[in-house]
Chain A
């Protein structure tokens, strides 16, 4: 699986938008971009995933660069409950498991 690079940590103020970047310059044409988040003492929670087009759901938006070498997870209004470690993971449709990197630890300040 191709590797992803994320900042170790980010901070945001409550009720402000948050843009979490992910670089994946070695992404292959069949790799999907998956985002998960992990709250303290919980299992990872699915956030969103996409292939080429930008994606929106009730939790977040995923903006994918035209060359697919990077993507950005957008939380439109951060809340204190969004404080978590966010993982950006690549995997093709027939891949086995997800390989977790260190992720980005997001802190949300009141």
Chain B
């Protein structure tokens, strides 16, 4: 299946600093990528939808000025957590939508996740 990578896999930062997380589609082009957040013992919650070359669409309750998303190319989307605070500590997961060659069915592939700990 298609491969999606994330970097870094783990990051620890001080409160008030900014952290950038990269999401790459390694063997396909993704016009649409998604960013999720997952707190312990909970399911994934969609934060925003990232479209290449345009502004991201944020879910209700997600601060767009705090979680900056850039999708500058068909293989790279970045999520920057600005002025991070301890409550931002979470598991951040990106995914990319794939259109299979048959052009009928499509699915999404997910990155391995980035665990953020804000002290």
Chain B residues with CB below 8 A from A17, complex form: none
User: How many inter-chain residue pairs (CB < 8 Å) link A and B?
Assistant: 50
Within 44-101 of A, Cβ neighbours of B (below 8 Å) are at 44-46, 49, 51, 87, 93, 96-101
Asked, given contacts A44-B93, A46-B1, A93-B105, whether A99 binds B110 with beta carbons under 8 Å apart, the answer is no
Q: How large is the interface on B (under 10, 10 to 19, 20 to 34, 35 or more residues)?
A: 20 to 34
User: In the complex the two chains form, is B112's CB within 8 Å of A44's CB?
Assistant: no
Chain B residues with CB below 8 A from A98, complex form: 34, 95, 108
Asked, given contacts A44-B93, A102-B43, whether A96 binds B49 with beta carbons under 8 Å apart, the answer is yes
Prevailing SS type, chain A contact patch = loop
Count of chain A residues with a beta carbon within 8 Å of a chain B beta carbon: 21
Q: List 19 interface pairs A-B (beta carbons < 8 Å), by A numbering.
A: A32-B105, A34-B107, A41-B115, A42-B113, A43-B4, A43-B112, A44-B44, A44-B93, A46-B1, A46-B110, A51-B105, A96-B32, A97-B34, A97-B49, A98-B108, A100-B36, A100-B43, A100-B45, A101-B43
Measured CB to CB, the residues of B under 8 A from A are 1, 4, 6, 32, 34, 36, 43-46, 49, 91, 93, 95, 104-113, 115
